[in-house]
Structure 1
Amino acid sequence: MPAERGAFPLGGHYRHRDVNVLRWLGAYTASMVGDSVYFMALAWEAARSGSPAQAGLVLALGSVPRAVLMLGGGVLADRFGPRRVVIGSDAVRCAVILGTAAALLLTSPSLGLLITVALVFGTVDALFLPAVGALPPRIAGPAQLARLQGLRGLAARVAHVTGAPLGGLVVALGGSAAAFAAAGALFAASLALLFAVRIAPLPADGAEAVRGTARRELADGLRHIRHHRVLAPVILVIAIGELGFVGPLNIGLTLLAQQRGWGAAGMGWIVAAFGAGAAAASLLIAVRGRLERAGLVQCLALLAGAVPVGALAFVPNAALAIVAGVLIGLFAGLGGALGAALVQTHSAPACLGRVTSVQMLFALGLAPLCHPVVGVAIDAWGTRPVFAVSAGVCAAGALAGLCVRDLRRAELPH
Structure 2
Amino acid sequence: MKTSTSRFEVPVLLGTQTLFNIGFYAVVPFLAVVLANDFLLAGAGVGLILGIRTFAQQGLFLAGGSLADRFGARRMILIGCAVRAAGFFTLAASLSLGDPKLWLFILGTLLTGFGGALFSPGLSILVGAAQTARDRGQPTGAKRATLFAWLSVTGEIGAVAGPLVGAALWDWGFAAVAGFGAIFFIAIGLFLAAALRRYAPEGTSPDYAGTRAKRQAQPGSLRRCLADRKFVAFCALHASDLLAYNQLYLAIPLELERTGLPTQWLGLVFAWISVLTLGLQLPIAWLAARIGAAATLRCGYVSSALGFGVLAFLPATAFGENTAAVRILCAVTLLALGHMSVHPAALSLVPGFAGHRGTGSYFGLLSSCGGLAVLLGNLLVGWLLSQAGQGHIPGFLPWLVLIIPLVVASWLGASLVRRSGLQTQGA
TM-score (norm 1): 0.84
Correspondences of 1:11-410 after superposition (within 5 Å): 11=3, 18-47=7-36, 48-52=38-42, 53-98=44-89, 100-101=91-92, 104-140=95-131, 141-143=133-135, 146-171=145-170, 173-195=171-193, 196-197=195-196, 198-200=199-201, 216-223=220-227, 225-226=228-229, 228=230, 231-232=231-232, 234-246=234-246, 248-284=247-283, 290-313=289-312, 314=314, 315-316=316-317, 317-382=324-389, 383-404=395-416, 406-407=418-419, 410=422
Determine the C-alpha separation between the residues in 2 that align with 1:311 and 1:108.
Answer: 48
Shift of 1:202: 5.5
Rate the CA distance shift 1:100–1:29 in 2: closer, same or farther, 3 A: same
SS in 2 for 1:410: coil
The farther-off stretch of 382-391 and 401-410 is 401-410
One-letter amino acid of the structure 2 residue matched with residue 138 of structure 1: A
Q: Is 1:85–1:127's contact at 8 Å kept on the other side of the alignment?
A: yes
Structure-2 change in CA distance of 1:304 and 1:73 (3 Å): same
Q: Deviations over 1:369-412 (max 9, x none)?
A: 32232111011134432113312221121111244373586322
* CA distance, structure 1, for counterparts of residue 248 and residue 419 of structure 2: 27
Amino acid at match of 2:345: L
Rounded Cα–Cα distance in structure 1 between residues aligned with 2:129 and 2:205: 13
* 2:364 aligned partner, one-letter code: S
**Is the 2:308–2:331 contact (alpha carbons within 8 Å) kept by the matching residues of 1?**
yes
1:165-201 alpha-carbon deviations (Å, 9 max, x no partner): 4323322x11011110221233134223322132247
Structure 1 residue matching 2:290: 3-state secondary structure? coil
Instruction: State the match for 2:320 in structure 1.
Output: none
Whole-angstrom CA distance in 2 between matches of 1:410 and 1:401: 12
Counterparts in 2 of 1:405 and 1:178: CA distance versus 1, 3 Å: closer
Pair 76,276 (structure 1): closer, same or farther in 2 beyond 3 Å: same
Identity %: 22
Deviations 1:217-246 (A, max 9, x none): 4212212x32x5xx4554343113333443
Q: Per-residue deviation at 1:285? A: 5.4
CA distance in 2, matches of 1:75, 1:327: 34
Kindly provide the amino acid, as one letter, of the partner of residue 389 in structure 1.
V
Q: Decide whether the 8 Å contact of 1:210 with 1:217 is kept in 2.
A: no
- Give secondary structure in 2 for the equivalent of 1:263: coil
Residues 62 and 368 in structure 2, CA contact (< 8 A), matched pair in contact too: yes
Distance apart, 1:29 and its partner CA:
1.0
SS at match of 1:107: coil
1:290 aligned counterpart, secondary structure: helix
In 2, Cα distance between the equivalents of 1:92 and 1:32?
16
| CA distances 1:52-87 after superposition (whole Å, capped 9, x unpaired) | 244333323323433553322111110111111111
Q: Residues 291, 98 of structure 1: CA spacing in aligned structure 2 closer, same or farther, 3 A cutoff?
A: farther
Question: C-alpha separation between the residues in 2 aligned to 1:289 and 1:387?
Answer: 27
Task: Indicate if the aligned counterparts of 2:352 and 2:422 stay in contact, CA closer than 8 A.
Answer: no
Structure 2 equivalent of residue 5 of structure 1? none
Cα displacement (A) at 1:122: 2.4
Q: CA offset at residue 203 of structure 1? A: 5.4
2:423 alignment counterpart:
411
**C-alpha distance in structure 2 between counterparts of 1:292 and 1:362, whole Å:** 27
Q: Distance in 1 between matches of 2:157 and 2:205?
A: 37
Cα deviation code 1:282-331 (max 9, x no counterpart): 22256679334222222222113311222034343212321332222112
TM-score normalised according to structure 2 size: 0.82
Task: Calculate the aligned-residue CA RMSD, in Å.
Answer: 3.0
Deviation for aligned residue 1:365: 4.2
Which amino acid is the alignment partner of residue 388 of structure 1?
Answer: L
Matching residue's letter, 2:178: F
Cα–Cα, structure 1 residues 266 and 103, in superposed 2: closer, same or farther, change >3 Å?
closer
Cα contact 1:138–1:200 (8 A) shared by 2: yes
CA distance in 1: counterparts of 2:89 and 2:206, whole angstroms: 42
Question: CA contact under 8 A between 1:147 and 1:285: conserved in structure 2?
Answer: no
- 3-state secondary structure, aligned to 1:134: helix
Shift of 1:333: 0.7
Q: Unaligned stretches of 5+ in structure 1?
A: 1-7
Distance 2:119 2:52 in 1: 18
Gaps of 5+ in 2: 139-143, 208-213, 318-323, 390-394
Q: Is the Cα–Cα contact under 8 Å of residues 277 and 329 in structure 1 kept in the other structure?
A: yes
| Residues 267/129 of structure 1: CA separation in 2 closer, same or farther (3 Å cut) | same
- Aligned AA for 2:222? L
Deviation for aligned residue 1:51: 1.6
Instruction: Specify the SS of the correspondent of 1:97.
Output: helix
- Partners of 2:205 and 2:79 lie apart in 1 by 26
Native 8 Å contact 2:276 2:336 kept in 1: yes
